[in-house]
């Protein structure tokens, strides 16, 4: 039961369309299913890591370091703006384009995985969200954790559940987008890529501005 609850939480956390969702859609349209899935799995792994830190009670450490939080927020926003610029400049490929060679595709997928992993980690306040969510899982989690040696089993169920739920969403999103890619005229893809880049840049700019305002208020 605890695993199912954590899976639902992971799915619901991943589902709102933000900058990572836009990246997943853009890469699935532009480069295919594997590219979009690699993008989503990077976010899912970051969610799982933050879920682990939240379950271990590391949120207090993050809350005690507001300067680190601001730095990561601004850096993450700037990275989003740079990523949007790179996306807009990159050549778009239609559904009829051939896939890259195996090694090249693997390297590209690894790069896409790492970019979204880092971007998702750029918001350390996510740990606080996971702490609140895990606390809301109810007394069943506490009952599991109270037994000798069962604490780690409880943490594992929650973390794996969060990853499974998040990964399920990204699998659905990248699969549906890749299926749409096959039916979409190739001439549409460059325009969608530019719109996606603009949306990603908007997310990044808002994040940078919010971080800089917080710095000014602190100073």
* Residue 124, pLDDT above cutoff 80: no
* Residue 147, pLDDT above cutoff 70: no
* Residue 208, pLDDT above cutoff 90: no
Domain map (residue ranges) of the chain: 2-11+18-218
**Assign residue 101 a region: left if phi > 0, alpha if psi is -120 to 50, beta otherwise?**
beta
Confidence at 113, pLDDT banded by 50, 70, 90: very high
Give the model's pLDDT for residue 37: 93
* Residue 189, pLDDT above cutoff 80: no
What average pLDDT does this structure show over 193-198?
77
* Residue 149, pLDDT above cutoff 80: no
Give the model's pLDDT for residue 83: 75
Task: Give, as one character, the DSSP assignment of residue 138.
Answer: -
Neighbouring CB atoms inside 10 A of 110's CB total 12
Distance CA(80)–CA(52), nearest Å, equals 25
Give the model's pLDDT for residue 151: 62
Of all residues in the chain, the percent with pLDDT exceeding 70 is 70
Lowest mean pLDDT among 25-29, 130-134, 213-217: 130-134
What mean pLDDT value characterizes the chain? 75
CA 103 from centre of chain: 25
Count of CA atoms in the C-beta half-sphere (13 A) of 135 = 9
């Amino acid at each position: 039961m605890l695993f199912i609850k954590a899976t639902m939480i992971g799915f619901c956390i991943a589902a709102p369309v933000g900058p990572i969702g836009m990246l997943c859609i853009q890469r699935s349209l532009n480069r295919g299913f594997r590219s979009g899935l690699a993008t989503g799995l990077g976010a899912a792994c970051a969610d799982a890591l933050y879920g682990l830190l939240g379950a271990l009670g590391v949120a207090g450490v993050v809350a005690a370091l507001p300067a680190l939080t601001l730095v990561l927020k601004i850096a993450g926003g700037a990275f989003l703006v740079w990523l949007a610029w790179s996306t807009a400049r990159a050549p778009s490929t239609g559904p009829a384009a051939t896939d890259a060679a195996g090694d090249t595709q693997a390297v590209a997928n690894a790069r896409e995985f790492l970019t979204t992993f880092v971007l998702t980690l750029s918001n350390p306040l996510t740990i606080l969200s996971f702490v609140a969510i895990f606390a809301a899982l109810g007394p069943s989690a506490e009952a599991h954790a109270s037994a000798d040696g069962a604490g780690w089993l409880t943490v594992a169920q929650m973390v794996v559940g969060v990853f499974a739920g998040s990964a399920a969403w990204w699998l659905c999103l990248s699969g549906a987008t890749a299926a749409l890619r096959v039916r979409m005229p190739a001439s549409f893809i460059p325009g969608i890529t530019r719109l996606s880049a603009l949306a990603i840049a908007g997310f990044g700019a808002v994040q940078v501005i919010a971080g800089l305002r917080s710095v000014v208020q602190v100073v």
